[in-house]
Structures are given as C-alpha cells and as structure tokens.
Amino acid sequence: MTDQPAVREFLYELWDANWDDGPLGNYEIHMHPITKKTDQRIHFTLAGRAGFVDRQRIEAAGEIYHRRSQRYLYLAPPKVPTQPEPAFLQELRQAMADAHPDRGGTNAEFIAARQRYERARATA
C-alpha cells in the first residue's frame, strides 16, 4: 500500500503588484488553500485568516467577489492580462535610451527624447 499525498486545492486571485500604476500592471497569481468544502461553502485561508465563499455561486460562474477581502477569487488560475506596448512607444523609449548621456548623448537630447516619450505614453 502506497501513501498518496492529499491533493491540495486552491482558490486563485489575480493580484496586481502595481495596482496604483494604471489599468495593467505587474500581475501575479496568488493561491489560497482550500481548507474545507461543504454543500453550501468553500472555506479557505487568505493571509493567515479563514474565509469562505458560496460554493454554488463560484462553481456556476468560476469566480466570485469576496467582499470581506475586497478581491475576486477564481476556481482555476485566471489568465494574466497582457497588453503589448505600441511599437511607436518602443521606438521612442529606444531613442530616449540612445540619447542618454551615459551612451554618448547630451543632457538636452535626453531631456527632449524623454519629453517626447512621456507625451506619447500619456496619450497611448
């Protein structure tokens, strides 16, 4: 007889490490262990605290908003949103890097390149 380790189940959270840095930031997926399942609830721990969600609602939708912790929780790992930077911003960033005084540019060239990049980034 072999001892099989118990399968651990989790609720998942999409967490933005740069939550104040705009709509798309540096996302991470946090896993919160499920401690118990009943017919009505799924119990879990989040940051050392016990919590629960409505089992029927999360199983029907795949996600649920947990008001107490003020976050969305998912049954499966959510997709991490990605939004590629427009090509013109990449070109402006490269021009800014090339104009940097450490790379042979002048202070004035770098400042002008940075201003162009910042204006384009604000409107993108």
Residue 61 lies in a domain: yes
Backbone torsions φ then ψ of 108, nearest 5 degrees = -65, -40
pLDDT at 120: 82
Sheet harboring 10-16: ordered strands across?
Answer: 49-54, 41-46, 27-37, 10-16, 71-74, 63-66
CA dihedral for 20, 24, 25, 29, sign (positive or negative): positive
pLDDT 10s digit of each residue in the chain, 124 long?
A: 455 556 689 999 998 876 665 555 678 899 999 999 999 999 999 989 999 999 999 999 999 999 999 999 999 999 887 766 677 888 888 998 999 999 888 999 999 988 888 888 777 6
Burial of 34 (0-12, 13-18, 19+ CB in 10 A): middle
Considering the domain architecture, whether residues 19 and 62 belong to the same structural domain is answered as yes
Domains: count for the chain: 2
Same domain, 15 and 70: yes
Per-residue confidence (pLDDT) for residue 55, from 0 to 100: 96
Q: Which domain does 28 fall in, by range?
A: 10-74
Residue 81 domain-assigned (yes or no) = no
50 shares a domain with 21? yes
E-strand ranges in the chain read: 10-16, 27-37, 41-46, 49-54, 63-66, 71-74
In a domain, 1, yes or no: no
**Co-location of 66 and 19 in the same domain:** yes
Is position 2 within any domain? no
Per-residue confidence (pLDDT) for residue 64, from 0 to 100:
95
Q: Is residue 30 part of a domain?
A: yes
User: Does residue 43 share a domain with residue 98?
Assistant: no
Inter-CA distances, 19 with 15, 25, 79, Å: 8, 7, 17
Q: Are residues 60 and 109 in the same domain?
A: no
Do 118 and 63 belong together in one domain? no
Euclidean distance between CA atoms 96 and 106, whole angstroms: 11
Cβ atoms of residues 14 and 78 within 8 Å? yes
**Distance between CA atoms of residues 17 and 72, nearest Å:** 15
The whole-number pLDDT of residue 82 equals: 72
